């Protein structure tokens, strides 16, 4: 396999960041015409068709029957619960704040490791988690104020938690399937579960204005499908630890898009809270990389 040029990899990685930064913007626009469940289903129906076309062209492996229940679990946490919670929560917070809160997933990964997996968590990681949760409070304060904040907005934290569970389960199966195969079955399984929101969706599509349907179309193709394929391509050619550092650019880019496309006013407290959250997440990542590099195994997601 020929190694692509650094310029090509940089452009692909920039495309991934832009796609995922657009996600809260597209959700914000789509919620004008669709309820949270309908928006999630329409988004992933589009993604499922797109991924199906890619699978037909490229080819993917068949799942093993004993793995089917766990693939359904991946679809539940990675698509169904994550995106339903995200869509409901974003009705009550700005797109900029949502982009920051959604990046808090690594904080919950530490809590899952300690409480559910019974792993030992050192003092450094506990400090990072507490600092990150403080950053979350600062974001909430800056976005709407504690008195004005609707508790339903905190469902975005449930979305981050479900994403952490997804990654914990996904790590167990990553070595059995290619990234494309795993992504396809995760998207298809989650879409199947989201079909409970099908009643009323066709009428909502007909009634929605064209710009909002276009926003959802972009949401289904780029953040929900194409970005995963591009991300898998990036991970084939550079280390995971190097690639994930670029993900910290998603909230700043999302804030810029929210200010430009939605006219949102980004409060200074939201920016400050975002810096605190991302700094704590980065500290956990760097500490984990240092710990891992001291061993004899190669890190793989």
Tokens of 84: 């339903």
| pTM (whole model) above 0.85 | yes
Specify whether the CB–CB gap between 216 and 26 falls below 8 A: yes
CA 1 to chain centre: 29
Helix or strand or coil: residue 148? coil
CA–CA dist 87, 175 (Å, integer): 31
- Where residue 6 falls among pLDDT bands split at 50, 70, 90? confident
Inform me whether the pLDDT recorded for 41 exceeds 50. yes
By C-alpha distance, which of 58, 49, 16, 52 is closest to 178?
A: 58
Supply angle C-alpha 109, 114, 119, rounded to 5.
105
CA–CA dist 78, 72 (Å, integer): 10
Report the pLDDT value the prediction gives residue 287, as an integer from 0 to 100: 66
Report the pLDDT value the prediction gives residue 161, as an integer from 0 to 100: 92
Q: 10 Å Cβ neighbour count for 36?
A: 21
Phi, psi of 71 (to 5 degrees): -65, -35
Range 250-273 average pLDDT: 92
Report the pLDDT value the prediction gives residue 263, as an integer from 0 to 100: 93
By C-alpha distance, which of 65, 288, 33 is closest to 176?
A: 65
pLDDT in tens, 151-164: 777 899 999 999 88
Phi, psi of 200 (to 5 degrees): 90, -15
CA–CA dist 249, 278 (Å, integer): 9
Inform me whether the pLDDT recorded for 286 exceeds 90. no
CA–CA dist 47, 49 (Å, integer): 6
Averaged confidence pLDDT in the chain: 86
CA–CA dist 165, 288 (Å, integer): 18
pLDDT in tens, 183-199: 899 999 999 999 999 99
Count CA within 13 A, CB hemisphere, residue 113: 18
Report the pLDDT value the prediction gives residue 111, as an integer from 0 to 100: 84
By C-alpha distance, which of 235, 227, 219 is closest to 17?
A: 227
Q: 10 Å Cβ neighbour count for 199?
A: 10
Report the pLDDT value the prediction gives residue 292, as an integer from 0 to 100: 39
């Amino acid at each position: 396999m020929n190694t692509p040029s650094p310029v090509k990899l940089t452009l692909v990685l920039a495309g991934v960041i832009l796609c995922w930064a657009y996600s809260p913007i597209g959700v914000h626009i789509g919620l004008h015409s669709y309820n949270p469940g309908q928006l999630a289903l329409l988004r992933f129906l589009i993604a499922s068709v797109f991924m199906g076309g890619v699978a037909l062209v490229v080819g993917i492996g068949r799942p093993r029957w004993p793995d089917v229940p766990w693939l359904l679990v991946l679809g539940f946490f990675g698509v169904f619960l994550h995106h339903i919670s995200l869509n409901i929560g974003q009705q009550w917070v700005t797109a900029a704040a949502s982009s920051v809160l959604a990046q808090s997933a690594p904080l919950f990964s530490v809590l899952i490791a300690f409480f559910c997996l019974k792993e030992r968590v050192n003092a450094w990681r506990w400090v990072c988690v507490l600092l990150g949760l403080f950053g979350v409070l600062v974001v909430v304060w800056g976005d709407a104020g504690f008195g004005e904040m609707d508790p339903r907005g905190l469902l975005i934290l449930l979305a981050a938690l479900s994403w952490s569970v997804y990654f914990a389960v996904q790590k167990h199966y990553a070595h059995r399937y290619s990234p494309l195969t795993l992504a396809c079955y995760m998207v298809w399984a989650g879409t199947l579960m989201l079909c409970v929101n099908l009643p009323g969706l066709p009428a909502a599509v007909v009634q929605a204005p064209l710009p909002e349907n276009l926003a959802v179309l972009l949401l289904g193709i780029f953040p929900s499908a194409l970005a995963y394929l591009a991300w898998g391509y990036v991970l084939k050619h550079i280390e995971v630890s190097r690639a994930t550092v670029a993900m910290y650019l998603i909230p700043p880019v999302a804030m810029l898009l929210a200010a430009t496309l939605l006219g949102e006013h980004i409060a200074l407290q939201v920016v400050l809270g975002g810096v605190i959250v991302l700094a704590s997440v980065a500290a956990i990542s760097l500490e984990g990389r240092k710990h891992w590099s001291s061993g004899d195994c190669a890190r793989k997601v």
